[in-house]
Amino acid sequence: MWWIIAGIVALGAAAWGPIVSNVEQAKYTVVEKHGNIEIRDYAPMIVAEVQVSGERQPAIKQGFRIIADYIFGNNIPNQKVAMTAPVTQQQTEKLAMTAPVTQTGEGNSWTVHFVMPSDYTLSTLPKPKNDAVKLKEISSKRFATIRFSGMGNTETLQQKSHELNEFLKENNLKALATPLYAFFNPPWTLPFLRRNEVMIEIAK
């Protein structure tokens, strides 16, 4: 009997991750597709973001907690804001248009952000009580993206960043920023059902 119960629990865990991940996502149009690599044009959006320091994995956990606290009601007027996807993480330093995309620069300084639901404006979003949370509007941008499943650990992110950079070089595309890491699923989602992406802003 125990193995039947274990099987039911495992199936429930497998299904639950994708179900709760079915939330509003940042809006984009696919311009080109090359296997698991896409060129996308993203619509303008509003994000809640926080700057954190430290190693990559602890930094995104810390950033997630701070922004989650904001959307769960630590704001004025104590109002919940719907969760969206993905949660993103990026090294803070911006690169010049002619520079290669690298993992150097600021090193352990990271920007973590959530995209806010599209029915809000800057004036209608609740005001964060925590001064570390900043609300900002981002203009439309073009990204080269590579999608993959699994845990999205640092080694895999670096590997996918390298693959994406090689694609940019081969196609004479100019990178404008460090890689942006995007995570779409809650922590309990089984690895093979997860959606992760590395995104690099490029010139149009």
> What is the phi-psi region of residue 79: left when phi exceeds 0, alpha when psi lies from -120 to 50, beta otherwise?
beta
Cβ–Cβ under 8 Å, residues 91 and 105: yes
120 lies in some domain: yes
77 lies in some domain: yes
123 lies in some domain: yes
> Quick one: pLDDT at residue 104?
28
* Residue-wise DSSP of 60-75: HHHHHHHHHHHHTT-E
State the CATH number of the domain containing residue 190: 3.20.80.10
Cα-only R_g, the chain: 18
Tell me the pLDDT of the chain (204 aa) as tens digits.
Answer: 544 443 433 444 444 444 445 688 899 999 999 999 999 999 999 999 999 988 888 998 999 999 999 999 999 999 999 988 899 999 875 433 332 322 223 458 899 999 999 999 999 999 999 999 999 999 999 999 999 999 889 999 999 999 999 999 999 999 999 999 999 887 778 888 889 999 999 998
168 lies in some domain: yes
CB contact burial 140-178 (16+ within 10 A = b; e otherwise): ebbbbbbbbeeebeeeebeebbeebbebbeeeebebbbb
- What is this structure's pTM? 0.82
129 lies in some domain: yes
| Residue range of the domain that includes 152 | 24-202
Q: How many domains does the chain have?
A: 1
149 lies in some domain: yes
> Quick one: pLDDT at residue 93?
55
154 lies in some domain: yes
18 lies in some domain: no
